[in-house]
Structure 1
Amino acid sequence: MQTGSAADAEFFERLAELNDRFAASLPQTLGRVSAARNAFDTVRPQPELMEELHAVLHTLAGSSATFGFRILGHQARNIEQRLRVLMTFDAVAPEEWAAWLAELDMFVAWALRDPKDAYPNDESAI
Structure 2
Amino acid sequence: MTGANDTDFFVRLTQANEDFRAGLPATLQRLGAAGADFDPATPAPALADDLQSLLHTLAGAAVTFGFRELGQGARALEQRLRVLTAFEHVGEDDWRAWLASLDDFVRSGLAAPAPAYHSAAFSLLP
**TM exceeds 0.5?**
yes
Match of 1:32 among 23, 30, 33: 30
| Greater RCO, 1 or 2 (C-alpha within 8 Å, sep 6+) | 2
Cα contact 1:60–1:76 (8 A) shared by 2: yes
Structure 2, unaligned stretches of length 5 or more? 116-126
Scaled by the length of structure 1, what TM-score is found? 0.84
User: What's 2:119 paired with?
Assistant: none
User: Which consecutive segments of 4 or more residues in structure 1 shift more than 4 A?
Assistant: none
| Deviation, structure 1 residue 20 | 0.5
Distance (whole Å) between structure 2 residues aligned to residue 49 and residue 115 of structure 1: 29
Cα contact 1:54–1:83 (8 A) shared by 2: yes
Structure 1, unaligned stretches of length 5 or more? 118-126
Residue pairs, 1:1-126, within 5 angstroms: 4-114=2-112
Q: Which amino acid aligns with 1:57?
A: L
| Deviation, structure 1 residue 16 | 0.8
Secondary structure at the aligned position of 1:91 is classed as coil
User: What's 2:120 paired with?
Assistant: none
Distance (whole Å) between structure 2 residues aligned to residue 12 and residue 113 of structure 1: 29
Q: Which amino acid aligns with 2:68?
A: R
Cα contact 2:31–2:54 (8 A) shared by 1: yes
Pairwise CA RMSD: 1.6
Q: Which amino acid aligns with 1:58?
A: H
Cα contact 2:21–2:114 (8 A) shared by 1: no
Q: Which amino acid aligns with 1:100?
A: W
